Structure 1
Amino acid sequence: MRNPPERSRGMTRQQRFSRYLTGTGALLASGALLSGCGLASGPTDDGEVTLRLSHQWPAAEDGEGDFRAVLAERFAEQVEERTDGSVTVELHPNNSLIEDPTEQYSAIREQTLDMSVYPLDYAAGDVPEFSMTLMPAMVRNHAQAQNWKDSEIGDRIAEISEENGVRILTWVWNAGALGTAGDEPIRTPDDVPSGSVTRAAGPKVEEMLEDVGFGLSSMPSSDIYNALQTGTLDSAITSTSSFSSYRLYEQVETFTSPAGGNTFWFMFEPLIIGTESYDQLTEEQQETVDEVGADLQEFAYTASEEDDQRVHEEFEENGVEVVEMSDSDFDEWREASQPAWESFGEEVEGGEELLELGESVPAE
């Protein structure tokens, strides 16, 4: 956190929000790299606090857009309103504050960033247990994903997160899809063309994909469009929301949709706040931040699930062949995922127990 700039009392929240985005654009245009610059600091003498919230998706416009960006915007607006302006949340979408989205966790730990809508598995190199939140074929549908929060595995993930410097405010899950530049869709491991190169997030997902014959190319979701266009990638695996936000329907011929209730790729990407930033808030401010996060929970679940159907239809409307995985297709991916599960259980302290807890969460 840092001391907030002097604010014009006559400005509306929307005007102040627009000013923040304008400032962010100017910093980006100047090539300023803000991570590592010591921007976060404590509240002012009168208790006013500014929290910087970064994420990788395009900014919401008029309350519409990628639901993760909309979630961040609603959080910022409601926190400022409920605290009577004592807590301001500056939004920095589209990698405008932290160029590499995977580095947002490090920035939070270093207190150069306060908050993010952040895929926890991005930080699996620092916290290996976080790979549980993107374990291939562990979570197959939204019902199972939503059951995590109130299950023992959810308690463990929340504890591990706090122990490693971040507090979960809103649980966000995103189903994944698979798009191919070729004419043949991929529903099962046997459909993977020889020599095909794909992109996916998650070390354990990548481990499974290599086992079934994929070549891999690592990149952020924002680079997938150009990689498909230039032939660097033959296919890509990312969230349905990102398939839409980055207009990947312009570059793929087939789309394996999770709308039918099955996918091997389900990513946990919650709204988080650094524990050190949280601890610098007053007790009343902490209660408000927690309450707003909880109040946005149903929106996060519903919007993510609705996105699957919206994107499914969007790709069909753009001439892409859209298919779904059957239950038996999913079972094949589940079988293919077992070596990755086994290596996680062997390599990560407490990994076997985490796997058992995750596997026990009902899918309905």
Structure 2
Amino acid sequence: MAINRRTALGVLALSIVMGFGAAPAWAQTTTIKISHQFPGGTIDKGDFRDRLVRMFAAEVEKRTKGAVKFEIYPGSSLMKTNAQFSAMRKGALDMSLVPLSYAGGEVPETNIGLMPGLVTSYEQSAAWKNAAVGKELTKILADKGVVMVSWIWQAGGMASRGKPIVEPEDAKGMKIRGGSREMDLILKEAGAAVVTLPSNEIYAGMQTGAMDAALTSSTSLISFRLEEVSKALSTGRGKSYWFMLEPLMMSKAAFDRLSKEQQAVILQVGAEMEAFALKEAKEDDEEVAKVFTKAGAKAVDLSDATVKKWQDIARRTAWKDFAAKNANTARLLQLAEQVK
């Protein structure tokens, strides 16, 4: 039987009404924007946090058969660093890899992500995710409109324009960037004046003399070329009182727009990225000492006794201050102390 144009259109219309011609939800393309403050590179070279974001994006796109795609904006090229967390909460930004403590002014509970002396090893930090403290923090963030995708921890050290700042007494009279409100509290107790700015602005601050020293992750010490403006480094390799939670997070509004299958892929791939992050963070703790030494700076490792001195200061200042904020902060600190 011959099929004329009118018959063909009728069959097409009927198939659409009955659902035969509709594209499956999985096939509908969604584009996710990811912002971060770190230098951009490639999936194989550069700052491991940028590489992690690119690896994550490529794998999610692969597993969703191209239904979920990504646009990546390194170097705070999409929005300013400190605006990212708030933008995720409001649904104005889809995803970001950003230090959790940068949101401390908006959500006090997030300052636990850079609490001096609370985490002193990668083994301890890795245990947080599935411990009660991790589950509680995940719930608090979800209630604020943010989904935890990858748990990323980094040790850090202190770059200095002059002498190495190792013991608390070395900080007296110095202008130092700590990285969080709580870190600033122990620096103040040690006699330092604190400087507040994101890690991608440290170089300029040290170059101009606006600050004498800065605490940041080993990876940032390398990526932001701080050896060029430093004469000394207190490393984070082996031991550190500075451990930072810098997770890959997603706006709950963006997450909820995805299908259940796509959400599962996001979380699964995010979890798989954590092993890569741990490996790279540890390697950068070693690499940063080499980079600074090669540039002529003095690199000093911390002892158990030195870490304990800073930890003792933290207990009576930063920990006490954090616990007094609200019921959530008090509970988070209590749960965190249970993770040994």
Structure 1 and Structure 2 fold alike (TM over 0.5): yes
- Residue 241 of structure 1 is matched in structure 2 by 219
How far the C-alpha of 1:352 sits from its partner, in A, is 2.7
Aligned residue in 2 for 1:52: 33
2:176 is matched with 198
| Alpha-carbon distance, 1:61 to partner | 2.7
Q: Are 2:154 and 1:144 aligned? A: no
Q: Give percent identity, aligned residues only.
A: 36
C-alpha separation in 1, matches of 2:123 and 2:95 = 27
- Alpha-carbon contact 2:137-2:332 (below 8 Å) kept: no
Other-structure match for 1:69 = 50
Partner residue in 1 for 2:338 = 360
Give yes or no for the alignment of 1:133 onto 2:133: no
Alpha-carbon offset, residue 353 of structure 1: 2.5
Separation of aligned partners in 2, 1:109 and 1:359: 28
Normalised by the length of structure 1, the TM-score is: 0.84
Q: Give the stretch that moved more between structures: 323-332 or 118-127.
A: 118-127
Q: How many Å separate the matches in 2 of 1:57 and 1:342? A: 32
CA distance in 1, matches of 2:289, 2:203: 18
User: Can you list the C-alpha shifts for 1:210-243, whole angstroms capped at 9, x where unaligned?
Assistant: 1111111222212211221111111111111101
Amino acid at match of 1:87: V
Structure 1: which 5+ residue stretches go unaligned? 1-42
CA-CA distance at 1:115 after TM superposition: 0.4
What's 2:244 paired with? Answer: 267
Is this contact kept in 2: 1:256–1:322, CA < 8 A?
yes
Cα separation, 1, equivalents of 2:328 and 2:40: 38
User: 2:59 aligns to what?
Assistant: 78
- Which secondary structure state, in structure 2, belongs to the residue aligned with residue 148 of structure 1? coil
1:215 equivalent in alignment to 2:196? no
- SS of 1:176's partner is strand
C-alpha contact 2:178 2:214 (8 A) present in aligned 1: yes
Give the RMSD, CA atoms, in angstroms: 1.6
Q: Secondary structure at the match of 2:39?
A: coil
Q: Could you say which structure has the larger radius of gyration?
A: 2
Equivalent of residue 316 in structure 1, options 289, 293, 299? 293
Q: Alpha-carbon deviation of 1:62?
A: 5.0
Q: Shift of the alpha carbon at 1:44? A: 9.1
- 8 Å contact from structure 1 (residues 75, 292) kept in 2: yes
2:10 corresponds to: none
Give the 3 Å change call, closer, same or farther, for CA 78–62 of structure 1 in structure 2: closer
1:63/1:73 contact within 8 Å kept: no
Q: Helix, strand or coil for the counterpart of 2:210?
A: coil
2:325 paired residue number: 347
CA offsets per residue over residues 27-72 of structure 1, 9 Å max, x none? xxxxxxxxxxxxxxxx999521000000000112352111111110
Rounded Cα–Cα distance in structure 2 between residues aligned with 1:317 and 1:360: 40
Equivalent residue in structure 2 for 1:254, among 221, 232, 235: 232
The answer to whether 1:107 aligns with 2:87 is: yes
Measure the CA separation in 2 of the matches of 1:149 and 1:305.
18
Runs of 4+ in 1 over 4 A off after TM superposition: 43-46
- Paired with 1:242 and 1:297, the residues of 2 have a C-alpha distance of 18
Cα displacement (A) at 1:308: 0.6
> 1:111-122, aligned counterparts within 5 Å?
111-122=91-102
Query: Residue in 1 aligned with 2:3?
Result: none
Task: State the 1:73 CA deviation.
Answer: 0.5
Cα distance, 1:246 vs structure 2: 0.6
Distance 1:106 1:347 in 2: 20
Distance in 1, matches of 2:292 and 2:129, equals 31
What one-letter code is carried by the residue in structure 2 that aligns with 1:217?
V
What runs of 5+ residues in structure 2 fail to find an aligned partner? 1-23
Secondary structure of the residue aligned to 2:288 is: helix
TM superposition shift of 1:189: 0.5
Are 2:131 and 2:339, in contact at CA under 8 Å, matched by a contact in 1? Answer: yes
Match of 2:72 among 84, 91, 96: 91
Distance change (3 Å), C-alpha of 1:283 and 1:178 = same
Query: CA, structure 1 residues 245+204, in 2 after alignment: closer, same or farther (shift >3 Å)?
Result: same
TM-score (norm 2): 0.89
